Structure 1
Amino acid sequence: MRGLTITPKLLLSAMGLSKYTVFEGELNLNIIGIRSDNTRANTFNDLICVLYQQNGEWQLKQYKATTDAGIYWRKHPMNVDGTAVLVAGQHLGLWTFGYHQGKYKALVQNKPVLVLRDNDKNEDLQTDGSQAELQSGYFGINCHRAGEHVESKLVGKWSAGCQVIADPRDYEEFISLCEQSAARYGTIFSYTLLEQNQIKRNKEDV
């Protein structure tokens, strides 16, 4: 994310300011998405971060990702009500292990979630709840990878609302961390989606 250096301290500050739960303990994962201010892009310009403690020290992994649907699905929504846009905030217990489209191990939706429905069928994705319809339910908002072999540069059809990691090597590391965490804490994972401006707002305070 251009012009923004993400650190454990910065993320912990942003989480604290919003009064979100921070999971502590060895390999107890905080999965945190950061949505770029540029929601028109069809690139992997967002981040999925994994913040966790190891030997009492905070560790941070960062992966290029998208938290938004690709342009194809913005113009051709899968749902008649419009393209799904996951609402920013903390989604406790959102995911569990499963298989994305029945093909490979992923984090799949475990409980109802709040999304916006953007139905103007243009490239500009609405992320403001005052300008788009809100819906709660099971919409297949998963966390998965893009291509199987190489890093993807364009989102295209890879996301219709899911949280998608661009590089399959990053994804393998991510899933491995989830498996290690699950051995200690169980197979339910929470997800916190922050907007880039929430990080910027905290930058001067840490």
Structure 2
Amino acid sequence: MKYGEEKYGLLYNRWVLFGVRGISSEEGSVNLNNDAINEYNDALFLIRNLNGSLECKTYVCTIDPGRYWLNHPMNPNGTARIAEGVYKYTLGIHRGHKALTQYAKVTVNRYAIHGAGKPWFQWKSESPSMKDTGFFAIDIHAKSSTSKYVEMASAGCTVLNSTWTDEPWKEFYSIVDEAISSRLQPYLCYCVLNQDSARPLIDAAT
């Protein structure tokens, strides 16, 4: 039984996207990291089973907002951080660039701005102030700068550690573009997992 087949009805004969927090994937090895705020320390996995053959593409990303937006929230209720769950994404535009955008509502946890200049270090030390569900432009896209820190690159979007013209983003987008444009699937299922939820899956696979 693959993850989500029974609970969410995921079909692995088409591309499924997994976003996993606090996971580093290098040279075929998957490891937990400290899930620090403002770093590209999450992983995106594009997975499908085609005629019995498993295909998997891996990309470094952040699933979380950068420090800049935590200190300068766009929403008065706090900055959005997408909650664990399964969501639907389709082709769209993010700030003039082709990207993946919401096909349906998503649920986010909102984090209120810190008082008294308290810094942001690790997500495990933070607690959301509320949950919110709707269309919030929580997109999946590339970054515009080469900075190693997230900062303004994400206000809650999933952002690959790749500029719009770098190979990782171009490969990722070409795969999802072909899958959706060819009508093989009208949307992509995006499964978001926190590190604690992903840990037993990783342990079982290693």
The answer to whether TM tops 0.5 is: yes
Distance 1:166 1:205 in 2: 27
Q: Deviations over 1:2-21 (max 9, x none)?
A: xxxxxxxxxx75x2598343
Distance 1:126 1:75 in 2: 15
Q: SS at the partner of 1:105?
A: strand
Runs of 4+ in structure 1 deviating by more than 6 angstroms, as ranges, are 127-130
Deviation at 1:169, TM superposition (A): 1.6
Distance 1:22 1:133 in 2: 28
Correspondence for 1:203: 202
CA contact (8 A) 1:30 1:51 kept: yes
Q: 1:178 pairs with 162, 166, 176, which one?
A: 176
Q: SS at the partner of 2:152?
A: coil
Q: Deviations over 1:148-200 (max 9, x none)?
A: 7xx54111100000000011321111111112212142332221001122222
Matches within 5 A, 1:19-30: 19-25=7-13, 28-30=14-16
Deviation at 1:24, TM superposition (A): 2.5
Matches within 5 A, 1:105-184: 105-121=98-114, 122-124=119-121, 131-147=128-144, 152-167=147-162, 168-182=166-180, 183-184=182-183
CA contact (8 A) 2:36 2:123 kept: no
Number of paired residues? 187
CA contact (8 A) 1:114 1:135 kept: yes
CA contact (8 A) 1:126 1:132 kept: no
Q: More deviation in 34-43 or 190-199? A: 34-43
CA contact (8 A) 1:52 1:58 kept: yes
Please tell me the residue identity of whatever aligns with 2:191. T
> Does 1:49 pair with 2:45?
yes
Q: Deviations over 1:85-130 (max 9, x none)?
A: 1001212x2x1111102x1110011222111110033415657997
Correspondence for 1:5: none
Please tell me the residue identity of whatever aligns with 1:48. L
**Unpaired segments ≥5 residues, structure 1:** 1-11
CA contact (8 A) 2:34 2:122 kept: no
Determine what percentage of the aligned residue pairs are the same residue: 30
CA contact (8 A) 2:72 2:113 kept: no
Distance 1:128 1:134 in 2: 18
Distance 1:18 1:65 in 2: 28
**Unpaired segments ≥5 residues, structure 2:** 23-32
